[in-house]
Amino acid sequence: DSGVTQTPKHLITATGQRVTLRCSPRSGDLSVYWYQQSLDQGLQFLIQYYNGEERAKGNILERFSAQQFPDLHSELNLSSLELGDSALYFCASSVGVTGSETQYFGPGTRLLVL
Amino acid sequence: GNSVTQMEGPVTLSEEAFLTINCTYTATGYPSLFWYVQYPGEGLQLLLKATKADDKGSNKGFEATYRKETTSFHLEKGSVQVSDSAVYFCALSEAGANNLFFGTGTRLTVIP
């Protein structure tokens, strides 16, 4: 158990809908990262927050947004969903922001868009 | 830019066989290098890491050495077990950046 929790575990929705994925980092970790794992794109970095502020952005679509709240949990919002958004979404956390730090991954949320 | 190239899978080995999974990288600076493992139905777990050239990361019998001259970080284990069956990801994190760049993953199956 990494100490990172993600809800829900599974999500099934329809095209055009909006969903929210939730992540609680390990106790004491200030950084939260979101990754998408799909069969065709592999594991891709989406976005990072550090202590409530956006820190880095990767291949995140404009239809997707995220935030980190004062209690450090984070939410990833996916809107106008398309079939291609079906994937496993991972949250990870780390203490700080240096490149050498270990990131601890949650179990993921599996999203299926029908 | 940053990229990680991993050995194509899947890899099937008999128990107690020697394992090598090749990983090479491209980075503009001096990255940290990682191996993560994903067991069926689970998230990724850090297996080992190395943060500078010639460092060797090791854990659970797995080893990898950070080779700057060949830009490689190959994963090795002397004697694999059935419980090592999983998908292994090589990744890098650029100095000054925080996000991980992952390879495509290599699925390992160990048969008794």
With CB atoms and an 8 Å threshold, state whether B105 touches A90.
no
What span, in angstroms and rounded, lies between the C-alpha atoms of B108 and A61?
32
Nearest to B43 among A33, A97, A106 (CB): A106
pLDDT confidence of A97, banded at 50, 70, 90?
confident
What span, in angstroms and rounded, lies between the C-alpha atoms of A66 and A102?
22
Q: Which of A49, A27, A63, A26 is nearest to A97 (CA)?
A: A49
For residues A33-40, average pLDDT: 92
What span, in angstroms and rounded, lies between the C-alpha atoms of A60 and A49?
13
Q: Which of A105, A65, A63 is nearest to A80 (CA)?
A: A63
pLDDT score for B97: 72
pLDDT confidence of B12, banded at 50, 70, 90?
very high
> Amino acid identity of A88?
L
With CB atoms and an 8 Å threshold, state whether A100 touches B99.
no
Residue range B23-80, pLDDT digits in tens: 999 998 889 999 999 998 888 999 999 999 999 999 999 999 999 999 999 999 999 9
Residue range A41-75, pLDDT digits in tens: 889 999 999 999 999 999 899 999 999 999 999 99
Name the DSSP class of A81: -
Q: How far is A58 from chain B (nearest CA, A)?
A: 8
pLDDT score for A39: 85
Per CB-CB distance under 8 Å, the chain A contacts of B36 are 105
Is the preceding peptide bond at B10 cis, omega within 30 degrees of 0? yes
pLDDT score for A108: 95
Residue range A3-20, pLDDT digits in tens: 999 999 999 999 999 999
Per CB-CB distance under 8 Å, the chain A contacts of B93 are 99-101
What span, in angstroms and rounded, lies between the C-alpha atoms of A28 and A20?
24
Q: How far is B47 from chain A (nearest CA, A)?
A: 10
The two three-digit tokens of residue B21, written as one number: 């999974």
Residues A71 and A41: beta-carbon distance below 8 Å: no
Residue range B82-97, pLDDT digits in tens: 999 999 999 999 877 7
Q: What is the mean pLDDT of chain A?
A: 94
> Amino acid identity of B20?
T
